[in-house]
Chains A and B, each alone.
Chain A
Amino acid sequence: EAGVAQSPRYKIIEKRQSVAFWCNPISGHATLYWYQQILGQGPKLLIQFQNNGVVDDSQLPKDRFSAERLKGVDSTLKIQPAKLEDSAVYLCASSLVGSTNTGELFFGEGSRLTVL
């Protein structure tokens, strides 16, 4: 079974530029998550989708970050304009169930962003 796919693996941009990350979850997984992991810290949830609806985006900096999951499958996370503090690894995860039910999360390899 294929895992969670992410691209690109690495991206270097200058501040104020824009960047987009793509994620394809495990087939059949209804719930998709984007996490941000800053060096030396645990991952922090940015946004959670159930199918193509947003369940939680309380920690997403909406003035510069946006995410969509138009057909309930793959997802794109965009940052515009980027700031130095956005340098981090962006992790995508998926789970079979969501809502108030439990479900094991599986993570992709991550997209490492460096903002200069």
Chain B
Amino acid sequence: GIQVEQSPPDLILQEGANSTLRCNFSDSVNNLQWFHQNPWGQLINLFYIPSGTKQNGRLSATTVATERYSLLYISSSQTTDSGVYFCAVAFSGGYNKLIFGAGTRLAVHP
């Protein structure tokens, strides 16, 4: 069936470290978004990236649609980066229905 798998499930970093989060998906997609869920539960849009590469400050993302994966890079991590990172995809032929992965829980320690 349709699957969105994120890895690793948990990640602990020292402040200043870099990290890579991965999202694998099982079929071709029309839409792929990365979100950061803050401690208050709000989903913050990071990237709308069904294909290609984008950068925003210390964050960047790459989606290789033909190989069905996306990567989120966090450089020089800060304690405020802590939270849960979700990848969500809308599969081709659907109705822009975003299906979420289980998330990567990131903790950045000072």
Query: A: which residues have CB within 8 A of B?
Result: 31, 33, 37, 41-45, 48, 50, 55-56, 89, 91, 93, 95, 97-110, 112
Question: In the complex where A99-B96, A100-B94, A110-B41 touch, is A105 in contact with B33 (Cβ < 8 A)?
Answer: yes
Minimum CB–CB distance from B80 to chain A (whole Å) comes to 18
* Contact-residue size bin, chain B (C-beta under 8 Å from the other chain): 20 to 34
Instruction: List which B30-48 residues lie within 8 A (CB) of chain A.
Output: 30-31, 33, 35, 40-43, 45, 48
Instruction: List which B63-110 residues lie within 8 A (CB) of chain A.
Output: 86, 88, 90, 93-103
Q: Report which residue of B50, B94, B95 has the largest number of chain A beta carbons within 10 angstroms of its beta carbon.
A: B95
Query: B: which residues have CB within 8 A of A?
Result: 30-31, 33, 35, 40-43, 45, 48, 50, 86, 88, 90, 93-103
Contact B41 A98 (CB under 8 A): no
Ranked nearest first, the 5 interchain pairs of A and B with the lowest CB-CB distance are: A42-B100, A104-B48, A107-B43, A102-B31, A102-B30
Give A107's nearest chain B residue, CB to CB. B43
Q: Which residues on A sit within 8 Å (CB–CB) of B41?
A: 37, 89, 109-110, 112
Q: Which residues on A sit within 8 Å (CB–CB) of B42?
A: 107-110
